[in-house]
């Protein structure tokens, strides 16, 4: 089973990151693609623009956001692609740009991937 991690894209890349997948729909501000150290950008696994804007990283909407986001993932082929990548690589780090390290889509994806891999 793969080792899974999450990390802000603005934190320095290191060897322990393994295969780095950006899970944001929008490219992070102020970051050059050449220096980001991203192996793959799966923007289609990110929350829809509508859901992202509605959530607005408001912790009070967190529980409802998770439910809505998981519903989006279940109908999303990009989710299957992400799961395939996790199965291929011994270490995968999901990178995201959000300032809130507790309430973001990477946290939801990490939990969802861990459950899927246990099946």
Quick: pLDDT tens for 95-106.
999 999 999 999
Give me the residues of the chain with pLDDT under 50, please.
none
User: pTM of the full predicted structure?
Assistant: 0.94
Domain edges within the chain: 3-118
Predicted pLDDT at 1: 60
pLDDT of res. 74? 87
For residue 36 the two structure tokens come to 């980001």
In sequence order, what are the residues at sequence separation of 6 or more whose Cβ sits closer than 8 angstroms to the Cβ of residue 91? Answer: 2, 3, 5, 16, 17, 18, 19
What's the chain look like in SS3? Answer: CCEEEEEECCCCCCHHHCEEEECCCCCCCCCCCCCCCCCEECHHHCCCHHHHHHHCCCHHHHHHHHHHHHHHHHCCHHHHHHHHHHHHCCEEEEEECCCCCCCCHHHHHHHHHHHHHHC
């Amino acid at each position: 089973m793969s080792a899974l991690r999450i990390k802000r894209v603005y934190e320095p890349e290191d060897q322990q990151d393994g295969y780095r997948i950006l899970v944001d729909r929008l490219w992070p501000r102020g970051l050059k693609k050449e220096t980001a150290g991203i192996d793959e950008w799966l923007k289609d696994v990110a929350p829809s623009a509508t859901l992202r804007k509605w959530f607005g990283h408001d912790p009070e909407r967190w529980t409802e956001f998770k439910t809505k986001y998981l519903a989006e993932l279940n109908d999303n082929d990009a989710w299957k692609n992400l799961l395939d990548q996790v199965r291929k690589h011994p270490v995968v780090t999901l990178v995201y740009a959000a300032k809130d390290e507790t309430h973001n889509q990477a946290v939801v994806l990490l939990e969802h991937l861990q459950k899927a891999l246990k099946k």
